[in-house]
Amino acid sequence: MCLGIPAKVVEIKEQEALVEVAGLKQKIRLDFVPEVKVGDYVIVHAGFGISIFEESEAQETLKLLREADVIP
Amino acid sequence: MSSLESGEILKRIRGMGVSARFMEVCGTHTVSIARSGLKKLLPDSVKLISGPGCPVCVTSQEDIDYAVALARQPGVIVATFGDMVRVPGTETSLLEARASGGRVEVLYSPMDSLSLARENPKEEVVFLAVGFETTAPLIARTVQIVRAEGIPNLSFLVLHKLIPPAMRALLTRKEVQLDGFILPGHVCAVLGSRPFLFLKEEFHLPGVITGFEPEDVLLALFMLLKQKREDRAEVEIQYRRAVKPEGNIQALKTMEEVFEPQEANWRGLGVIPNSGLGLREPYSGFDTRRRFPLNITGSREYPECRCGEVLRGVISPRECPLFGKACTPDSPVGPCMVSSEGSCAASYHYEERP
């Protein structure tokens, strides 16, 4: 039910956006991610955006690993 | 994260020498762990146990039977998410009710129920709202829109369940010994980390909010083991790219406006106070149970099905005598084998016999 694939926002029209994931386009509602911009990635659940995917936070892993002293 | 880093984390986990049992309470984690074969890579001292993380699976037999009874009512269309339709009720599933003339529609988004209701103005459309805190805000928003647009022939059978009260119920029973939780990434995208602080305060247990790649789970396990070694019990966020500590404020606000907590009946766990949601007064006219007060009696689960114990983490799927014999994904006896997120289905598809 909770697929974790982030979808790329390609077009925004009022409370809706067109998003693309693996080449497939889909319309979603933006009620819970009103601040989203074209080009952002969102987590989509049953036709609604529920979270903006922070690409910068992808660095989190490295940071956490460093904090955890796993990698230098 | 590269496989090199995964290998490095795995090496560290093996080298820690900490024994622990962790539970995941999200069906998507269950599938990710099974599909990646992670359990086989972990040292014997680290055990992963699936909990009540599959929304379809935790729906009670009474609620399934009520939905089937609705589908048999003339002039009613039952709409829901995919996995719900195959769950066997006491007599039949929704799918079987459809084969014998009932109207059952599978929808991708709750918003699709609006067009279904508009296209069938002489029918009553009932949306079966299952799901945890990831799904509840979407249904809440849909209910608001249905009310604002004055759609008369659409109502909601609210079967939502809340994860933190179920975790508390599990821990209070002490049936399974746990050292911490892999916390559900997308439930927490909505809830944030605060609703899980009871883990620390009441049980001195750690939790890590985790993403869905095998590497995410691996890193979360490392973080949990590290906490255990240091005797810490914090709620940490591994899945920072999608989860903020405060959650999704807008989604929480919408959920709070439309729903109020109420007791709910869970398969395997029974009735837990404040673990479900009901429609608040301004929206109660859209409550299916008010429109169709059907009396459901004689609900019972298939006698040998041990889905309830699987959901509590008391047994693993393969310890059920029906597993792979009388109960398979093609011919499921219990919901844990029906749902793609169910522990039994995940184990059947991805895990070899021990």
Domain annotation covers residue B156: yes
Of A46, A50, A61, the CB nearest to B189: A50
Walk me through the domains of chain A, giving residue ranges and CATH numbers: 6-67 (2.30.30.140)
Interface-testing mutation among B241, B243, B252, B254, with chain A (most A C-beta atoms within 10 A): B241
| pLDDT of res. B353 | 64
| pLDDT of res. A62 | 57
Domain annotation covers residue B40: no
pLDDT band at B203 (very low <50, low <70, confident <90, very high): very high
- Per-residue pLDDT tens digits for B218-267: 999 999 999 999 999 999 999 999 999 999 999 999 999 999 999 999 99
Question: Per-residue pLDDT for B354 more than 60?
Answer: no
- Per-residue pLDDT tens digits for A18-43: 999 888 999 999 999 999 999 999 99
Q: What CATH number corresponds to the domain at position B128?
A: 3.40.50.11740
Q: Is A50 part of the contact surface with chain B (CB cutoff 8 Å)?
A: yes
Q: Is A31 part of the contact surface with chain B (CB cutoff 8 Å)?
A: yes
Number of independent structural domains in chain B: 1
Is the sign of the CA dihedral A4, B41, B203, B244 positive or negative?
Answer: negative
B5 vs A contacts (CB less than 8 Å): 61, 65, 70-71
Neighbouring residues of B215: CB distance < 8 A, sequence distance ≥ 6: A61, B1, B5, B6, B9
Q: What percent of chain B has pLDDT over 70?
A: 98
B80 to chain A: closest CA residue: A46
**What ipTM did this prediction achieve?**
0.92
Check: CB of residue B137 under 8 Å from CB of residue B108: no
Check: CB of residue B307 under 8 Å from CB of residue B301: yes
pLDDT band at A6 (very low <50, low <70, confident <90, very high): confident
Domain annotation covers residue B141: yes
Residue B127 structural domain: 56-161+248-257+274-291
Give the other-Cβ count within 10 Å of B272's Cβ. Answer: 19
- Per-residue pLDDT tens digits for B291-311: 999 999 999 999 999 999 999
| pLDDT of res. A55 | 72
Give me the helices (H) in chain B, please. 3-16, 27-36, 38-41, 55-58, 61-72, 94-99, 112-119, 136-148, 163-173, 185-191, 198-203, 214-229, 249-258, 288-291, 307-312, 335-338, 343-350
Of B1, B108, B250, the CB nearest to A32: B250
Contact between chains at B81 and A43 (C-beta distance less than 8 A): no
Q: Is A65 part of the contact surface with chain B (CB cutoff 8 Å)?
A: yes
A55 vs B contacts (CB less than 8 Å): 241
Is the sign of the CA dihedral B33, B4, A64, B15 positive or negative?
Answer: positive
Domain annotation covers residue B75: yes
| pLDDT of res. A54 | 86
Interface-testing mutation among B58, B108, B109, with chain A (most A C-beta atoms within 10 A): B109
Residue B120 phi, psi (nearest 5): -125, 65
Domain annotation covers residue B338: no
Contact between chains at A2 and B81 (C-beta distance less than 8 A): no
Domain annotation covers residue B228: no
Domain annotation covers residue B38: no
